Amino acid sequence: MVTAARLSAVLAVLWLLSGCGRPAMESTEVASADSAKQGQMPMARMAMGGASASGPPAAPSETAPGSPAARLPELQGASADRYLIREGTITLEADDVRKAAAEITASATQAGGYVADGSEATDPIQGVAVTLLLRVPAARFDGITSHVTSLGRLIDKRISAEDVTEEYVDSDSRVRNLKRTEERLLAHLGRTGKLADTLAIERELTRVREEIEQTSGRLRFLSHRIAYCTLTVTLRETARRRPVEPAESWSSRQVASEAGRSLVGFARSIWSMVIWVAIWSPVWALLVGLGVWLVRRGRRPAP
């Protein structure tokens, strides 16, 4: 009974530490988040060589007043450790679409990025159209955007940014807390000697490790999206001038020819109708005779 009580107490404490005990460690979490933001370099900055993932604020013309994107300069000015996921879409017209696409691909590769997706379509009226999905380092995002814009006539340009600082710091703190819980579970596993206690601790250890893998995966995803911005470029072929086709000329001979064809067609229709009536005349005669007989019978006085 004493061993079972001890086991229940241990599992209750571990459960509080891994899940429900989080509010009790709120002050520790805040201090850890602050220290992570001030002194710890995230994985995204390690991939970029220490470069900031946020980049310059968007131009006033690209963000509407009062929108979340319009507050990016304020957020960036308040802290240099803001983690932003930046995305952009650019639509251009170019004389040589394939050449411009090759130059954009080369620029992205030289900057340390890559082409995540690409497609090409040919239309007999609009010509060739190429779409590229680029992943470029955050520190080179503005330079690549300016270079792409200079390769043709700009049709549309949109830049957006999502602040994921809170989610990133929270996920990082959660991973560290779960790892501490894992260490405590391993220590208890080494001290226990009963099979029931061992199985209970192993089940809890499995659950904690699953949460560590899930949260770590989310952290890796955020780090990559912060370190590499997304730029979608659509290139269209410049519309070419076409010769103006002259208006159709009027000709009396052509009008007379059309009138003659119309008259012949009308005569054919009449003659076809006469043939149909002639062939169906026995049927018409029978119907007419039957109608006359019915009328006469109806008029005959009753005896």
Q: pLDDT tens digit string along 157-175? A: 999 999 999 999 999 999 9
CB-hemisphere CA count at 13 Å for 265? 6
Parallel, antiparallel or unpaired: strands 228-237 and 84-94: parallel
300 closest CA partner among 285, 292, 287: 292
For the residues 237-261, what does the mean pLDDT come to? 74
The overall average pLDDT reported for the chain is: 75
What percentage of the chain has pLDDT greater than the value 90? 37
DSSP 151: T
Which pLDDT value is given to residue 188?
Answer: 85
- Render pLDDT for 31-63 as a digit per residue (tens, 0 to 9): 333 433 333 333 333 333 333 333 333 333 333
R_g over Cα of the chain: 40
Which pLDDT value is given to residue 159?
Answer: 93
Distance CA 255, CA 236 (A): 45
